[in-house]
């Protein structure tokens, strides 16, 4: 179903594409969210664990930039991960203001266990698209996400 907006042809086309993209994204996220509740973590907690696992220790600002959440939100998420002994904060000895977030052994074991399951679910969801469609979708999403890198 297209938009009922009575704007210009270009506006209606853009709005219709946006609605379809948003609905597809929300639908996919909803189906994948079942795993997070099953593992008793939030999507943000998963994002932090995954970033630390694949990229190594990071400051909260780096995590914020990586998972696209506010630094205030990251503080709460890290607090909750720390309570579960999945991460630890390490204060820099040279500059005590600088704190780096590290995975604990328990956090590493947890993400190593659940990450392959999550990737498998994502792969199953995307199996309705051909390899070429997945490549095209990736290019289109990257272009939309980094609009400032492209001239209009």
* CA gap 70, 115 in Å, rounded: 24
pTM for the model stands at 0.82
| Residue for token pair 């664990």 | 49
Pairing between strand 58-59 and 99-103? Answer: antiparallel
Half-sphere exposure of 147 (CA within 13 A, CB side): 2
Which pLDDT tens digit goes with each residue over 3-60?
Answer: 677 888 888 889 999 999 999 999 999 898 888 888 999 999 999 999 999 999 999 8
Which pLDDT tens digit goes with each residue over 100-146?
Answer: 999 999 999 999 999 999 999 999 999 999 999 999 999 999 998 88
Look at residue 150 in the predicted model and tell me its pLDDT: 44
Assess contact for 82 and 101: CB atoms under 8 A.
Answer: no
Assess contact for 43 and 30: CB atoms under 8 A.
Answer: no
Which pLDDT tens digit goes with each residue over 65-101?
Answer: 888 888 778 889 999 999 999 999 998 888 878 889 9
What residues does 99 pair with on adjacent strands? Answer: 91
């Amino acid at each position: 179903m297209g938009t009922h907006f009575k704007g210009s042809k270009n506006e209606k086309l853009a709005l219709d594409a946006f609605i379809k993209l948003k609905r597809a994204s929300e639908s996919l996220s909803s189906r994948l969210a079942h795993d997070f509740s099953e593992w008793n973590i939030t999507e943000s907690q998963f994002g932090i664990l995954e970033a630390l696992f694949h990229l190594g220790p990071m400051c909260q600002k780096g995590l914020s930039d990586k998972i696209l959440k506010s630094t205030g939100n990251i503080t709460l998420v890290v607090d909750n991960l720390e309570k579960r002994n999945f991460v630890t904060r390490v204060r820099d000895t040279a500059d005590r203001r600088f704190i780096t977030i590290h995975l604990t052994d328990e956090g590493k074991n947890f993400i190593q266990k659940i990450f392959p399951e999550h990737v498998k679910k994502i792969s199953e969801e995307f199996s309705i698209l051909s390899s070429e469609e997945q490549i095209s979708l990736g290019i289109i999403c990257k272009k939309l996400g980094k609009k400032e890198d492209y001239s209009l």
